[in-house]
């Protein structure tokens, strides 16, 4: 029977929400939360002997956290350590990546589960990561895919793209029953039939954004201010998320010459915002744009600014927000926009 130790964050481990994000790693006996379903899917050849629970802030912000989590897993007799599913959660995904990467380097079998757009993907190295859904409502399918991959890993079978592997997939030499010419013809026939996905060598995908043409005459153009730095009125009345944003807000400033200190605050949890809180114009440069407006360098300033938080926000959500912003600005006949980041 293979001994599995499962790593979960404070939320899935059942010890709390953001109030417990700073809690250090602790070992609990048996499976917890989604680990119970994972144990059932793995069957009688596996036992989820223990669960390591650690708060997201602690795990993501302390370099030694991965070592502490791995040490607890080894104390519990882990033959394989499983991390996640982390979905698109940035801090949890980052910690999962570091744990399985460290375990893999130390010779311990390890596997993580997260969404392809999770910020942690960049730190997994050669460790195995299986694709999860974007949100926890996709838990069942994510756990099923993870359980299947765990069984293959323990059986010594290769885990590739067809098994849901994401991130860096090492290339290995294998003996094929068909020649390269035969396989090339098969792939060519698939392309001719409309298949654009099947491949022997998956390539990374990235967006290609064609820059817009230069603005012809700024002195007659309407310019908008946008930011992903989380600048909102003090008190955050619309409860914009400080990380992993799912939406955006707009705030008018048509009657203002600048943003006054004490009335605005940056709620983005991904950077030290003291300088912005001291002078909000450092992030949303209303004062400079009013000067440009007065001197005729631009035609006019759009009467409101758009804001979201870029901290841990998934690429899919960011793409949607960008499309919504573009649609709004196009309808308002805005010719140019300045987007400030952190």
**Mean of the per-residue pLDDT values of the chain:** 92
What count of other Cβ atoms lies within 10 Å of the Cβ of residue 126? 11
Calculate mean pLDDT across residues 309-322. 84
Calculate mean pLDDT across residues 212-224. 92
Strands (E), the chain: 2-9, 26-29, 46-54, 80-83, 109-114, 128-131, 165-166, 222-227, 231-233, 249-252, 264-266, 300-301, 304-307, 336-340
10 Å CB burial of residue 89 (0-12, 13-18, 19+) is buried
Calculate mean pLDDT across residues 13-30. 94
pLDDT at 34 (0 to 100): 97
pLDDT at 11 (0 to 100): 94
pLDDT category, 105, cuts 50, 70, 90?
very high
CA 256 to chain centre: 36
pLDDT at 2 (0 to 100): 96
pLDDT at 278 (0 to 100): 95
> What pTM was computed for the model?
0.61
In this predicted structure, the answer to whether residue 130 has a pLDDT above a threshold of 80 is yes
Rounded CA separation 220/297 (Å) = 8
pLDDT at 304 (0 to 100): 97
In this predicted structure, the answer to whether residue 42 has a pLDDT above a threshold of 80 is yes
Sequence-ordered list of residues with C-beta below 8 angstroms from that of 71, at least 6 positions apart, any chain: none
Tell which wins on pLDDT, 172 or 305: 305
pLDDT at 204 (0 to 100): 62
pLDDT at 280 (0 to 100): 97
pLDDT category, 103, cuts 50, 70, 90?
very high
Calculate mean pLDDT across residues 14-41. 95
Asked, as a colleague might, if the bond just before 85 is cis with ω within 30 of 0, I would say yes
Rounded CA separation 215/64 (Å) = 50
Percent of the chain at pLDDT > 70 equals 97
**Measured in Å, how far apart are the chain's first and last C-alpha atoms?**
49
pLDDT category, 88, cuts 50, 70, 90?
confident
Domain-by-domain residue ranges, the chain?
A: 2-166, 218-340
In the numeric block, which tokens belong to residue 324?
């919504």
Q: Which fold has domain 2-166?
A: Rossmann fold (3.40.50)
What count of other Cβ atoms lies within 10 Å of the Cβ of residue 319? 12
Helices and strands of the chain, counted as H and E runs: 9, 14
pLDDT category, 123, cuts 50, 70, 90?
confident
pLDDT category, 174, cuts 50, 70, 90?
confident
Q: Between the ranges 24-28, 124-128, 318-322, where is the mean pLDDT highest?
A: 24-28
Q: What is the CA radius of gyration of the chain?
A: 25
Sequence-ordered list of residues with C-beta below 8 angstroms from that of 4, at least 6 positions apart, any chain: 39, 42, 46, 47, 48, 49, 78, 79, 80, 81, 82, 150
In this predicted structure, the answer to whether residue 76 has a pLDDT above a threshold of 80 is yes
Q: What share of the chain is helix, strand, coil (3-state, %, to 5)?
A: 35, 20, 45
pLDDT at 244 (0 to 100): 80
pLDDT at 170 (0 to 100): 67
| 49, 42 contact by CB (below 8 A) | no
């Amino acid at each position: 029977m293979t001994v599995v130790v499962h790593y979960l964050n404070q939320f899935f481990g059942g010890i709390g929400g953001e109030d417990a994000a700073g809690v250090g790693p602790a070992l609990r006996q048996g499976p917890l939360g989604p680990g119970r379903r994972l144990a059932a899917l793995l069957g009688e050849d596996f036992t989820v002997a223990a669960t390591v629970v650690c708060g997201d802030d602690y795990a993501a912000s302390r370099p030694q956290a991965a070592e502490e989590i791995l040490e607890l897993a080894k104390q519990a007799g882990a033959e394989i350590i499983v991390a996640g599913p982390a979905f698109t959660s940035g801090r949890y995904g980052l910690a999962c990546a570091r744990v399985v990467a460290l375990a893999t380097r130390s010779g311990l079998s390890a596997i993580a589960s997260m969404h392809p757009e999770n910020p942690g993907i960049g730190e997994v190295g050669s460790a195995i990561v299986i694709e999860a859904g974007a949100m926890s409502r996709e838990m069942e399918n994510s756990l099923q895919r993870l359980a299947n991959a765990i069984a293959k890993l323990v059986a010594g079978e290769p885990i590739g793209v067809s098994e849901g592997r994401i991130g860096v997939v090492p290339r290995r030499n294998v003996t094929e029953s068909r020649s390269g010419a035969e396989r090339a013809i098969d792939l060519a026939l698939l392309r001719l039939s409309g298949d654009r996905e099947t491949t022997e060598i998956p390539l990374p995908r990235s967006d290609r954004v064609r820059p817009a043409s230069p603005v012809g005459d700024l002195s007659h153009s309407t310019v908008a201010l946008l930011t992903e730095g989380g600048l909102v009125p003090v008190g955050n009345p619309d409860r914009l998320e400080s990380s992993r944003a799912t939406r955006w807000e707009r705030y008018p400033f048509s009657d203002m010459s600048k943003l006054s200190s004490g009335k605005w605050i940056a709620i983005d949890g991904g950077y030290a915002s003291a300088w912005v809180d001291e002078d909000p114009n450092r992030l949303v440069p209303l004062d400079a744009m009013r000067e440009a407006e007065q001197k005729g360098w631009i035609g006019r300033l759009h009467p409101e600014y758009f804001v979201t938080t870029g901290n841990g926000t998934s690429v899919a959500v960011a793409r949607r927000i960008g499309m919504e912003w573009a649609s709004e600005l196009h309808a308002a006949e805005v010719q140019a926009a300045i987007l400030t980041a952190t």
